[in-house]
């Protein structure tokens, strides 16, 4: 397979929205800004195929040639994320039925039923036609399947498929009744056709997180992931019939709840994602999401497929990126393993719901704007960083998270709804990164032996193989931290009582308590400092482990909050509290030696990448004041050519970055 050796810089371009003159001046302006890659055809279906048996290739043919002539590479999309109106009108079952049981009509995008055989036939066919026509085109860099897969469908066809899938997964109806414990609430099924899709009209009350039978909800989420994967993979297989040279990818969305990307991404050649952070202090969230995307790729290349050069539109408030942010966030993508810097989009759309979603070029196509100048400056810098391509982020630690735990922890009632796995995982990722640099994420199905420490913020649902892997990891000398509700249930969704786990942890749960969000409880950490925990409080019962943290307030004061167990050559810390940010840092500090140059000053981010073209340290200052960082060895800043020296602090300007090639 051919992977580009340079940093892809560019992003989505929708020339169908512009006339020829505009396209010409756009391409000239983009080339001048160091843009080398265009993503085309993401929403081109209605244009390419104006009717069931009719294709119009002229415009795309000429466009491919035109951008090639200008020197751009193309990430070519199968346009299957938005059906043409004629298809929805002729085949209403291609449209989804929502959680409320309502069949939708045509509108928006991302609207197809993932089990619709009509959709699969048409989407496969347009993918095939594109692959056949363009797989040898010299501009082609990669294939982009669909767009931002997600959501769910609850139609009869999906429901029937769910039942079939369940039978296969469980081996039969008796097994399913047993696994699901259907004697509860009189749910024993005597025919597979009695099983409902878990919607607002069946198992749910009070929305998607209140299920009368949470295991059905969990299984439907697993099933939906498989169906969307099958849609995508059907297109991938069409592409690969003609083309095994160019990598195939799609754009994931970071910590996106509704698809289990560990399962979903299995057939991709490259993991790519769209980075639209939700929080004010975005960089730790983005670092986490980059790491998660690396994780679901299990070692495959990582591409940043979309980011907003100006502002998004879909939130209540959509701030514009201030000066310098686009550069820093782009360099962060590289720091976290991306081989691309791709923006959405090249020119702001002239209409539609995203007409204020700012592009590299604005509505007027001006090149004398701040954004254009920043992109052009970035383009120049990126050319100095091509040696990063192909290298991988190095990590001493991993955070363990998986979608089953995320889903089940949200959908099973009890204790407190005011916390969730992802925010915990992000908090631990940040604490580790400050102490160690690059941090991985794992679902426990990777080679764990490379990590000195693994933190499972809340492994709510523990699969047998993951339990075994963690036991092996610890037995061989690893350190595992397992947070609240870890090992709560088995893969069947039933409460987990398991001697293997008891032995690993050296403790059981004595009791759990919960409190309103503002009502904290104090505990003493292993370093004898006090922290305040929130939401959920586990009182632990040592059964071999040693109490290293104790509740200090609440009716359970004196109870065990943290237990340390030696297991084989390694150590398990069972943590019964949702710690504060400071508490997480202190616990990390008590468990592992920092990496050189760490712990980092506030708002500094550092990772190392290494590969055949070198070993690199990228240091980013996300703060408002200059901060120092001390390299462990001599190196050269690839952006400026300056030399830095082991032990001599380097000052990173506010908002600045350096990319060091180790000597």
Q: How far is the CB of 618 from a second copy (least distance, A)?
A: 24
93 binds a second copy per the rule CB under 8 A = no
305 binds a second copy per the rule CB under 8 A = no
Tell me the C-alpha to C-alpha distance, in Å, between residue 533 and each of 19, 198, 526.
59, 34, 15
**What count of Cα atoms within 13 Å lies in the side-chain half-sphere of residue 659?**
24
Q: How far is the CB of 56 from a second copy (least distance, A)?
A: 11
The region of 248-256, 310-318, 330-338, 641-649 touching a second copy under the rule CB under 8 A is: 310-318
- State the pairing for strand pair 489-490/461-462: parallel
306 is catalytic: yes
Please report which residue ranges of 135-213 form alpha helices under DSSP H.
156-170, 173-180
CB distance 234 to 114 below 8 Å: no
- State the pairing for strand pair 453-456/479-482: parallel
Element (H, E) at 441: strand 439-442
506 binds a second copy per the rule CB under 8 A = no
The catalytic residue among 148, 219, 233, 605 is 148
Subset of 53-82 contacting a second copy (CB under 8 A): 79, 82
Copy the structure tokens of residue 596.
């050189």
The distance between the two most distant Cα atoms of the chain, rounded to a whole number of Å, is 76
Given 310, 342, 533, 635, the residue binding a second copy (CB under 8 A): 310
Instruction: Show the binding pattern over residues 211-240: x = contacts a second copy (CB under 8 A), - = does not.
Output: xxxxx-------------------------
Subset of 112-141 contacting a second copy (CB under 8 A): none
Please report where in the chains the tokens 């710690």 appear, as a residue.
579
Q: How far is the CB of 477 from a second copy (least distance, A)?
A: 30
44 binds a second copy per the rule CB under 8 A = yes
Given 5, 71, 85, 544, the residue binding a second copy (CB under 8 A): 85
CB distance 653 to 626 below 8 Å: yes
Subset of 518-537 contacting a second copy (CB under 8 A): 535
318 binds a second copy per the rule CB under 8 A = yes
The catalytic residue among 226, 306, 538, 603 is 306
10 binds a second copy per the rule CB under 8 A = no
Q: How far is the CB of 67 from a second copy (least distance, A)?
A: 18
89 binds a second copy per the rule CB under 8 A = yes
39/36 Cα distance (integer angstroms): 10
630 binds a second copy per the rule CB under 8 A = no
Given 3, 6, 16, 282, the residue binding a second copy (CB under 8 A): 16
Given 21, 205, 612, 641, the residue binding a second copy (CB under 8 A): 205
317 binds a second copy per the rule CB under 8 A = yes
196/219 Cα distance (integer angstroms): 11
Element (H, E) at 542: strand 536-542
Element (H, E) at 304: strand 302-307
The region of 265-273, 315-323, 392-400, 545-553 touching a second copy under the rule CB under 8 A is: 315-323
13/342 Cα distance (integer angstroms): 11
Q: Looking at beta carbons only, is 521 or 650 nearer to a second copy?
A: 521
299 binds a second copy per the rule CB under 8 A = no
593 binds a second copy per the rule CB under 8 A = no
C-alpha torsion angle, residues 263, 269, 275, 278 (rounded to 10): 10
CB distance 125 to 233 below 8 Å: no
Q: Give the rounded distance of the alpha carbon of 268 from its chain centre.
A: 14
CB distance 655 to 324 below 8 Å: yes
Q: Evaluate the omega torsion of the peptide bond into residue 345 and state whether it is cis, within 30 degrees of 0.
A: yes
452 is catalytic: no
Q: How far is the CB of 186 from a second copy (least distance, A)?
A: 4
The region of 242-250, 380-388, 458-466, 507-515 touching a second copy under the rule CB under 8 A is: 507-515
184 binds a second copy per the rule CB under 8 A = yes
333/331 Cα distance (integer angstroms): 5
Q: How far is the CB of 583 from a second copy (least distance, A)?
A: 21
Subset of 339-358 contacting a second copy (CB under 8 A): 348-357
478 binds a second copy per the rule CB under 8 A = no
Q: Looking at beta carbons only, is 232 or 650 nearer to a second copy?
A: 232
Given 19, 58, 191, 499, the residue binding a second copy (CB under 8 A): 191
Q: Looking at beta carbons only, is 4 or 79 nearer to a second copy?
A: 79
Subset of 550-589 contacting a second copy (CB under 8 A): 555
Q: Which of 313, 311, 312, 330 is nearest to 321 (CA)?
A: 311
Given 196, 549, 570, 583, the residue binding a second copy (CB under 8 A): 196
Across the beta sheet with 392-393, the strand order is 392-393, 604-611, 614-621, 657-662, 635-637, 643-644
> Which residues are identified as catalytic?
148, 306
């Amino acid at each position: 397979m051919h992977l580009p050796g340079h940093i892809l810089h560019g992003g989505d371009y929708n020339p169908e929205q512009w006339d020829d003159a505009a396209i010409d001046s756009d391409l000239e302006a983009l080339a001048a800004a160091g843009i080398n890659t265009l993503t085309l055809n993401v929403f081109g279906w209605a244009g390419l195929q104006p009717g069931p048996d009719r294709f119009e290739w002229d415009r795309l043919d000429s466009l491919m040639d035109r951008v090639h002539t200008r020197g751009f590479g193309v990430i070519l999309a199968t346009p299957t994320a938005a059906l043409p109106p004629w298809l929805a009108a002729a085949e209403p079952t291609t449209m989804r039925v929502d959680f409320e049981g309502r069949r939708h009509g045509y509108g928006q995008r991302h609207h197809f039923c993932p089990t619709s055989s009509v959709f699969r036939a048409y989407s496969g066919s347009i993918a095939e036609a594109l692959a056949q026509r363009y797989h040898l085109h010299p501009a082609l860099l990669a294939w982009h399947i669909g767009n931002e897969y997600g959501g769910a469908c609850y139609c009869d066809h999906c429901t029937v498929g769910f039942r079939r899938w369940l039978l296969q997964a469980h081996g039969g109806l008796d097994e399913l009744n047993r696994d699901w414990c259907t004697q509860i609430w009189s749910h024993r099924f005597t025919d597979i056709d009695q099983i409902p899709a878990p919607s607002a009209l069946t198992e749910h009350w009070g929305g998607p997180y209140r299920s009368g039978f949470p295991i059905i909800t969990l299984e439907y989420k697993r099933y939906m992931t498989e169906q969307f994967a099958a849609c995508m993979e059907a297109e991938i297989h069409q592409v690969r019939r003609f083309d095994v040279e160019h990598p195939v990818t799609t754009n994931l969305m970071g910590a996106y709840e509704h698809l289990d990307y560990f399962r979903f991404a299995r057939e991709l050649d490259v993991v790519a994602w769209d980075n639209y952070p939700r929080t004010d202090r975005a960089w730790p969230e983005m670092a986490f999401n980059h790491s998660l995307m690396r994780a679901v790729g299990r070692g495959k290349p990582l591409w940043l497929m979309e980011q907003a050069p100006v502002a998004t539109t879909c939130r209540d408030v959509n701030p514009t990126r201030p000066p310098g942010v686009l550069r820093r966030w782009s360099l962060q993508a590289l720091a976290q393993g991306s081989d691309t810097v791709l923006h959405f989009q090249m020119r702001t759309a002239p209409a539609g719901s995203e007409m204020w979603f700012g592009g590299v070029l604005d509505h007027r196509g001006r090149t004398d704007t701040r954004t254009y100048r920043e992109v052009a400056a970035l383009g120049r810098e990126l050319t100095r960083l091509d040696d990063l391509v192909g290298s991988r982020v190095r990590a001493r630690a991993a955070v363990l998270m998986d979608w089953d735990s995320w889903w089940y922890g949200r959908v099973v009632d009890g204790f407190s709804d005011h916390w969730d796995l992802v925010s915990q995982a992000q908090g631990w990722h940040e604490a580790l990164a400050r102490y160690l640099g690059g941090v991985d994420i794992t679902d426990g199905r990777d080679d764990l032996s490379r990590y000195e420490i693994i933190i499972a913020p809340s492994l709510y649902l523990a699969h047998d193989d993951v339990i075994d892997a963690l036991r092996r990891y610890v037995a061989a000398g690893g350190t595992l931290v397992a947070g609240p509700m870890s090992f709560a249930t088995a893969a069947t969704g039933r409460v987990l009582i398991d001697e293997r786990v008891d032995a690993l942890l050296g403790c059981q749960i004595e009791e759990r308590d919960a409190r309103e969000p503002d009502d904290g409880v104090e505990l003493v950490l292993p370093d004898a400092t006090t922290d305040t925990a929130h939401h959920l409080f586990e009182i632990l019962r040592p059964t071999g482990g040693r109490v290293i943290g104790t509740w200090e307030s609440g009716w359970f004061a004196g109870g065990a909050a943290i237990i340390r167990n030696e297991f084989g050559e390694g150590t398990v810390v069972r943590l019964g509290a949702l710690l504060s940010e400071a508490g997480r840092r202190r616990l990390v500090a008590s468990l592992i030696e920092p990496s050189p140059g760490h712990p980092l000053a506030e708002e500094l981010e550092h990772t190392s990448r290494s590969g055949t073209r070198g070993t690199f340290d990228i240091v980013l200052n996300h703060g408002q004041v200059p901060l120092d960082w001390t390299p462990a060895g001599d190196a050269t800043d690839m952006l400026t050519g300056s030399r830095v020296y082991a032990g001599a602090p380097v000052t990173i300007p506010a908002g600045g970055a350096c990319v060091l090639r180790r000597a």
